[in-house]
Every structure is written in C-alpha cells, then in structure tokens.
C-alpha cells in the first residue's frame, strides 16, 4: 500500500498524518525539514503531541487517521481497531462505530472475563469449614463459593476467618469464631 499524507484538521501546513498511521511535522521557520514524530504509548494506544501557538495537545493517532481518511456519515465518536490491536493505526484496520459496537466487538468480552478470573483467583483465599466439634468438613475456594453452597453470608465467614469481633446490645465485644453453626478458618 502506498503511503498517502493529508493535513491534520486545525494544524494545516504544520502537521500531516498518513494512511499507514504515521504523523509528521512539516518544515517551517523553526525547522528546515520534515520530521516523523515518535509516537508515545498510553494504555495500548499511540498518541502524539501537536503544538500550536505554544500550546500542546495530545491526540491519539487512530483518531487522526480516521478523521483524515475514513468518512463518518453517521457522526460516530468511537473508532474500532478491527484486529483488536490498538497499536495498528493503518486506515484499513480502523472503522467508525458506536460505543456499544466497540464494547461487543471480537474477543474483547472473553479477554476481559479471562483477566478477571485470573485476577480474582489470585486474590481468593481458600477457606476450611469445620463443625462445632472441630471436625473438618470441606475446603472452599473462596468465601463467596462457601456462601453459595451453605447460604451463610460471605462477610460473616470472612469475619470468622479473620478472628473479628462483634458488638452486642449490652456493649460487650465478643470474638466471632463461628457462623451458621460452623467454624471457619483460612486454609494455611
């Protein structure tokens, strides 16, 4: 694909963007030659800093490419990366869309779900369940899972595991050791 350059709206004669996702500053009184700007990465997307009248504006490259090369007849404000790679700013990889379409596009839901599962499983502490005589019953993967199986609130289970205290109506503090007729302890 041949590289085509177009002026950036609001920065005509100062900066141009290409259909391949590159941005350059044009020669002016301060610089004698054109210069390809080095993109800066932020949360998986590239942006550049554009200067005009001593003011700096940070603009994402995919926004510049889409605005210059892709018609937007419906006035959409979101740009989708078709290959789900936020660093691929080639015009063939971009499309205007709605926020809802962008959220539901491709494998994004599965990737978010996998990340949440990985994050939460790393945070979960296994919990042992005992009867009131101290006999082991079962190990649960988390307090939430124990709540689903027993119907006892996960907050009460966690308080037991942490050795929390409860306040009675007679202004006395009691150590919480059991909930729902079971003793709960974090697995060591």
pLDDT mean values, one per 10 residues, the chain (188 residues):
95 96 88 90 96 94 98 95 95 96 80 69 81 92 89 88 72 75 87
CATH numbers and ranges of domains, the chain:
5-109 (3.90.75.20), 125-186 (1.10.10)
Q: Which helix (H) or strand (E) holds 85?
A: none
Nearest to 49 by CA among 21, 75, 72, 15: 15
Q: Is the pTM of this model over 0.85?
A: no
Q: What angle do CA 112, 75, 46 make, to 5 degrees?
A: 50
Q: How many CB atoms sit inside 10 A of residue 39's CB? A: 17
């Amino acid at each position: 694909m041949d590289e085509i350059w177009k002026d950036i709206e609001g920065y005509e004669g100062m900066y141009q963007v290409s259909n391949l996702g590159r941005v350059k500053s044009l020669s002016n009184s301060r610089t004698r030659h054109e210069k390809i700007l080095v993109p800066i990465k932020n949360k998986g997307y590239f942006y550049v800093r554009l200067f005009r009248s001593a003011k700096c504006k940070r603009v994402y490259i995919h926004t510049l490419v889409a605005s210059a090369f892709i018609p937007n007849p419906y006035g959409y404000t979101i740009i989708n990366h078709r290959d789900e790679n936020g660093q691929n700013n080639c015009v063939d990889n971009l499309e205007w869309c709605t926020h809802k379409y962008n959220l539901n596009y491709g494998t994004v839901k599965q990737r978010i779900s996998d990340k949440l599962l990985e994050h939460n499983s790393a945070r979960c502490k296994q919990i042992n369940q005992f009867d009131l005589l101290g006999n082991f019953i079962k190990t649960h993967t988390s307090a939430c899972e124990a709540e689903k199986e027993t119907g006892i609130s996960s907050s009460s289970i966690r308080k037991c595991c942490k050795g929390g205290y409860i306040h009675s109506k007679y202004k006395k503090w009691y150590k919480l050791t059991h909930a729902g007729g079971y003793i709960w302890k974090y697995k060591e």
